[in-house]
Structure formats: structure tokens, C-alpha cells
Structure 1
Amino acid sequence: MSDMILRASLTSPFGRKPRLAAAVAGLSDRVEVVMADTFDDSDSLRTQNPLGKVPTLVLADGSTLYDSRVILEYFDYLAGGDRIIPIEPAARFAALKLQALGDGILDAGVLRRLETLFRDETLRSHRWLGYQSGKMARALDVLEAAPPSDTDILVGEIAVACGLGFIDFRLGDEWRAGRPRLAGWFERFGERCPGFADTAPH
């Protein structure tokens, strides 16, 4: 029975992170996903999270947690710890660093998306778009040189997979060109990660 509500959207890559994490941690049956419209002034999301952002997790007592990193840490706690965030220090900080890299890809990708969504073409800053694209390209090159684990599904792997999925869904970048190791990792991750297909953006 659900005792938590996750405010998210079917297209948000940051909203996908806790949905995947819940599946990996065995918590999906406790989480009801309720869609949120971040652009709707009347959506209750704005009272649940003053930033009006997804994901936001509403707990049984009505209190809330945000953002995705905090929610994933909470899910790890509920799962008994050491499930998606390792306890051992070296592994823990490696996972958190990889999550930061994946989230950085998402941050830059979302900024690119918003620039094209909200600005007429004549007003778009190509310098800004290039700046964000450069961040993403460098991060992807690092991941090609050292792909994430093929055995673990931790916060880092989840974040990177959500980042790659967002690129495919929203940006259409040919990120696989010249990055066969990362492309292979992403395909294998999709095959072994619980909930991966079910949480795909659409």
C-alpha cells in the first residue's frame, strides 16, 4: 500500500531518477506517482515545494522532501541502507561523484531544452547553448573512458542512465558516435535495471 506520493512528470529526467530508484530498492509499491504541472500556478506542487519543481516526495505525515538526490538518499534509508548508496566510504563517494556527473549532464541538457523552448530562434544565445553542450560532451567523454559499473545499480548509474535517456528523448544528440563503450553500457543497463522500460519518458 502506498504511503508516499511522488510528484513528478512522465518527461522529467529528474523525476525519473526516484522512480527508478524505488524500483531498484523494492519500494515501488509504497510510492504513488502523481503527475505535476510545474507551469500551472494552481498546482498543489507549489505548496508542497516552494520552488515548484519536480520531483517532490510527499510523506505520510504531509511533510515533503526534494530534490532527487535527497529523495534517493531517503529511499536508500527506507531500504535499510547500502542499497543504492554504499556505506563503505570509497564506494560511497565514488557513487555520489558519478551521480553528480549524471546530474550535471541533466542540468546542462535541461538548460539547453529551456533555451529552445522559451526563446524564439532569433533570440536564442548560441554561445549559451554551446557552453552547455560543451559540458555535456566533456562529461560523456569521461564516461566513455570509464563507463559505469555493469554489476551495480547505484545512484550514479541511475543518474547517468537518466541523463542519456533525456538526451535521446529531448535533444536528439548523436552522443553514441565515437562512444561505443558508453553506448553499450547504456543498452545493458536498460536490460538489467528494474523499471527502466516502465519509466521511459513519453
Structure 2
Amino acid sequence: MKLHWSPKSPYVRKVMVCAHELGLEDRMELVRSVAAMLKPNERLMQDNPLSKIPTLVLDDGFVLFDSVVICEYLNDLGGGTLFPSQGTDKWQALRWHALGDGLLDALILWRNERERAVPLAVLLDAFELKVRATLQQLDDEAQALNETVFSIGHVAVGCALGYLDYRFDTLDWRGAAPRLAEWYAETRARPSLQNTEPVDG
């Protein structure tokens, strides 16, 4: 398998955390791919016309797009339990998955806006409001996160919090969400998250 990959992308990190959890990391060839919004990557577009990462090319040439799809594929391939198959556990995992991805979406848009020559204050305020509200929601659910079997929901939330640390180091999210911070301190100690910390370069 060939994975279009970047050490900075939180969505790629989700895929890599799943691969480590499932023991599949050694089966993937990592292809360093830049996916800048304003500069479509022609090489990447040969596999993904959207010029987005992560993109997974299977051994038979079939291509999977988007971290949500790729993570579920890896879970099936590795016979894992990151995606519970039924009942309350399934919907809770998918709910946290969506919440973690939604938090990442807001953070990336927030970062893009603040780096514009003339950022719009109303957008900056809206993104910050959404991020802080999501952190409060997750703080309220920290005990449930701690008591639930590790799943794709935990992966997504963990990667979103890692991105906060990486790109928003001046935002004191731990002070505002102490229970979530305690959960994250334990979760980030897992080898899968330790081995996939975002790095520059």
C-alpha cells in the first residue's frame, strides 16, 4: 500500500495512529506529498483529483480518499475494533469521530484565516467560539472517554488535541478543559500517538 503522507497533517496522523494500533504501519509505503490549498499537486492528483491527503493507493491500484474511509479500511484489514460494529458503542465512537474531525476542521480554518494579510475579526471570533464550545463539550464527556474502549473516536479527539498543541500553543485549552487534559495526558502516552507526533520538515 502507498500512502500520500505529510508529518504535519492531523488527518494523516489519524490514519497513522490507526495503522500503529492495528500493526499495519510496516505494510505502508509513505510518500511525502504536499497538499497546499492554493497549489494543487499534479503528482498527487494522478491518484486523487482533489489533491488532498491522506490518499491510500492499494496494491491492486484501487485508491481510497479521506481519513474517515482509510481508517475504516485499515480497521477491517487488520481485524481491529476501532470501529465498533453495533449498539451504543458504535454510535458513540462515530459521534466522537465526527466531533474530533469537526474540531480539526474549525482549527484549520481558524489557522488559515489568522494567517491572511487582513484576517476578518468576525471569522476569528466565530472559530474561537466553536473551538472553545467543543472543548467544553469534550471536557464534560472526559469521564466517558476514559471509561469507553479505545476507538476511532478517541483517535480523532486525540489528534485534534495534538493539533491544538502543535498550531495553537498559546491557547490555554488545558486550563479551560482540565478533565479533558487529564484524559489526553494518558491517551497521548500510547505508542501509536507517541510515534506519530507532528513535526516540521
Same fold (TM over 0.5): yes
**1:135 correspondence with 2:133:** no
Q: Distance in 1 between matches of 2:167 and 2:25?
A: 26
2:183 to 185, 191, 200: 185
Aligned to 1:26: 23
1:146 to 122, 141, 148: 141
**For residue 122 of structure 2, what is the amino acid of its counterpart?**
R
**For residue 26 of structure 1, what is the amino acid of its counterpart?**
G
Structure 1, residues 119-177: CA drift from partner, whole Å, max 9, x if none? Answer: 10xx2111111111111111110111111235632110000010001011012211001
Q: Distance in 1 between matches of 2:127 and 2:194?
A: 28
Is the Cα contact below 8 Å between 2:35 and 2:41 reproduced in 1?
A: no
Give % identity. 38
Structure 1, residues 83-137: CA drift from partner, whole Å, max 9, x if none? Answer: 10001221111100000000011000000111133x10xx211111111111111
User: What TM-score do you get using the length of structure 1 for normalisation?
Assistant: 0.91
Aligned to 2:191: 194
Aligned to 1:162: 159
Question: What is the deviation of 1:80?
Answer: 2.1
Q: Distance in 2 between matches of 1:75 and 1:89?
A: 21
**For residue 33 of structure 2, what is the amino acid of its counterpart?**
A
Number of equivalenced pairs? 194
Higher mean displacement: 40-49 or 12-21 = 40-49
Aligned to 1:94: 92
Is the Cα contact below 8 Å between 1:150 and 1:185 reproduced in 2?
A: no
Gaps of 5+ in 1: none
User: What TM-score do you get using the length of structure 2 for normalisation?
Assistant: 0.91
Gaps of 5+ in 2: none
Query: 1:79/1:42 Cα in 2 relative to 1: closer, same or farther (>3 Å)?
Result: closer
Q: Distance in 2 between matches of 1:64 and 1:114?
A: 28
Q: Distance in 2 between matches of 1:23 and 1:32?
A: 14
**For residue 158 of structure 2, what is the amino acid of its counterpart?**
A
Runs of at least 4 residues off by over 2 Å: 39-43, 149-153
